[in-house]
Chains A and B, each alone.
Chain A
């Protein structure tokens, strides 16, 4: 049974790039445009890992992580932040909210897969 990963990013091209890399490695993928959209897609499915952007409309990534961690089913689900953000302050906020890793864009698929496989096997 393949593991399912939720990708949250307002950029369609980034969602596609991440999806292709993960599907190629045997993961199932669900996508969402922002934090609010992601929260609406998290019920009724088993998600093993979340990859989220930081700067997004409607609900930013750090708020989304904090909201997701309030849900009992997602308390222990690892979250990777995938962002263009370079500020250490934001990185600390993400860590405090419950994120497990911080990956900066533009990323190479191998790097992303390496980070993902450290947190969840395919």
Chain B
């Protein structure tokens, strides 16, 4: 009897303490009527049938949205990378052409123009040198004419002396006097011709000197012009080279930036591989959730016990990634393993 009382008191105390503890944890909850096991099983089946399609639909919606977004992102990035490649290729080609092609061709053409001017000037200077030679020859002719005048004068004097001697000897020297007179006439004509020659030679000398003066002035002017052209062409080529160098530097800077951007985008694209992995994980999860109503129904109908391990084992059998197995076993997020390469 005493033991019954003690047990009753202990039960009452236990119930009271339990009620008090529950009241503190879940205050003011209405009392629930516990349905019979069959009804609970049917409730669970209905619950599973109602929630799992929504869960699956939400997972599928997430997968689709993520797949589309990442797909568009990778496509955009791929387009950027492709455009950068095109820009890099064309930039390198244009620069190569500019440095090695256009510049060399320009220098060659301008060199030909200046060379032509140089040749013309050289030709002119050679002609002037010939004219100088002509002037020297003309001077020699002048001297020779002077010599002829002197010879004629001496001949005239000799003829005069001969005529005087012929007259002095009388009748016998008459014929000789005629010859002496003829010789004097020839000497006079020679002297006159010589004087005219000297006049002509002087005129020729003046003409040559005139041409020389004009052409030498012209040649000097052209020489200055050609030298100036040389300087200008070199200056233009220097400017062109300087501009090309700056363009090259600028382009190299852009190229380096483009290569850097390309690398960063490629790196970002590599990181977007997560979509494929997450997609597969969600797919495995969705399929496993989809199996929940069947397992619940089997349990409700008494075909099989409601065993979580059944679903967990099925889920594990679908895993393809090592981190899925790790997360399953540890119950926490697992680190993604580095890529491995195996050759067969």
Measured CB to CB, the residues of A under 8 A from B are 9, 11-14, 16-17, 19-21, 23-24, 54-55, 83-87, 90-91, 94-95, 99-109, 111, 114-115, 118
| Distance in angstroms between the alpha carbons of A100 and B43 in the assembled complex | 54
**CB-nearest residue of chain B to A101:** B343
Residue contact A84 to B342, C-beta cutoff 8 Å: no
Which applies to chain B's interface (DSSP): helix, strand, loop or mixed?
Answer: helix
Residue contact B270 to A109, C-beta cutoff 8 Å: yes
| Distance in angstroms between the alpha carbons of A23 and B262 in the assembled complex | 13
Chain B 161-192, CB-CB to A under 8 Å as 1, else 0, gives: 00000000000000000000000000000000
Residue contact B78 to A108, C-beta cutoff 8 Å: no
Question: Which residues on the B side are within 8 Å of A55 (C-beta)?
Answer: 280, 320
**CB-nearest residue of chain B to A17:** B269
Q: A17-B272, A103-B342 are in contact. List 15 more A-B contacts (CB 8 A).
A: A11-B275, A12-B74, A13-B272, A13-B276, A16-B269, A20-B266, A24-B266, A85-B320, A85-B321, A86-B320, A86-B321, A101-B342, A103-B339, A106-B339, A111-B341
Chain B 289-330, CB-CB to A under 8 Å as 1, else 0, gives: 000000000000000000000000000000011100100000
Question: Which residues on the A side are within 8 Å of B135 (C-beta)?
Answer: none
Question: Which residues on the B side are within 8 Å of A85 (C-beta)?
Answer: 320-321
| Distance in angstroms between the alpha carbons of A101 and B325 in the assembled complex | 24
Say how far B286's CB is from chain A's closest CB, in angstroms. Answer: 14
**CB-nearest residue of chain A to B265:** A20
**CB-nearest residue of chain A to B321:** A84
**CB-nearest residue of chain B to A83:** B320
Question: Which residues on the A side are within 8 Å of B29 (C-beta)?
Answer: none
Residue contact A14 to B273, C-beta cutoff 8 Å: yes
Q: Is B264 an interface residue (CB 8 A)?
A: no
**CB-nearest residue of chain A to B76:** A16
Residue contact A84 to B339, C-beta cutoff 8 Å: no
Work out how many contacts link A and B, with CB atoms closer than 8 A. Answer: 108
Residue contact A102 to B344, C-beta cutoff 8 Å: yes
**CB-nearest residue of chain B to A19:** B78
Name the residue in B73, B77, B321, B325 with the highest tally of chain A Cβ atoms < 10 Å from its Cβ: B321
Question: Are A109 and B266 also in contact (CB < 8 A) when A84-B320, A86-B320, A101-B344 are?
Answer: yes
Residue contact B75 to A16, C-beta cutoff 8 Å: yes
Residue contact B85 to A95, C-beta cutoff 8 Å: no
7 of the cross-chain contacts (CB-CB < 8 Å) are A13-B276, A21-B266, A54-B320, A95-B344, A102-B342, A104-B339, A106-B271
Q: Is B55 an interface residue (CB 8 A)?
A: no
Question: Are A12 and B340 also in contact (CB < 8 A) when A21-B266, A24-B266, A105-B276 are?
Answer: no
Say how far A77's CB is from chain B's closest CB, in angstroms. Answer: 14
| Distance in angstroms between the alpha carbons of A90 and B337 in the assembled complex | 18
Say how far A12's CB is from chain B's closest CB, in angstroms. Answer: 4
Name the residue in B81, B266, B339 with the highest tally of chain A Cβ atoms < 10 Å from its Cβ: B339
Picked from B77, B262, B272, B276, the residue with its CB within 8 Å of the CB of A84 is: B276
Say how far B258's CB is from chain A's closest CB, in angstroms. Answer: 13
Question: Are A20 and B320 also in contact (CB < 8 A) when A106-B339, A109-B266 are?
Answer: no
Residue contact A106 to B341, C-beta cutoff 8 Å: no
Residue contact A13 to B74, C-beta cutoff 8 Å: yes
Name the residue in B74, B85, B336 with the highest tally of chain A Cβ atoms < 10 Å from its Cβ: B74
Residue contact A104 to B273, C-beta cutoff 8 Å: no
B250-292 residues with Cβ-Cβ distance < 8 A to A are 262, 266, 269-277, 279-280
**CB-nearest residue of chain A to B343:** A101
Residue contact A13 to B273, C-beta cutoff 8 Å: yes
B50-91 residues with Cβ-Cβ distance < 8 A to A are 67, 70-71, 73-75, 77-78, 81-82, 85
Residue contact B78 to A118, C-beta cutoff 8 Å: no
Question: Which residues on the A side are within 8 Å of B343 (C-beta)?
Answer: 100-101, 115, 118
| Distance in angstroms between the alpha carbons of A101 and B343 in the assembled complex | 4
| Distance in angstroms between the alpha carbons of A94 and B279 in the assembled complex | 23
Residue contact A105 to B277, C-beta cutoff 8 Å: yes
Residue contact B277 to A106, C-beta cutoff 8 Å: yes
Question: Which residues on the A side are within 8 Å of B321 (C-beta)?
Answer: 84-86
Question: Which residues on the A side are within 8 Å of B341 (C-beta)?
Answer: 101-104, 111, 114-115
Residue contact B71 to A12, C-beta cutoff 8 Å: yes
Residue contact A20 to B342, C-beta cutoff 8 Å: no
Say how far B317's CB is from chain A's closest CB, in angstroms. Answer: 10
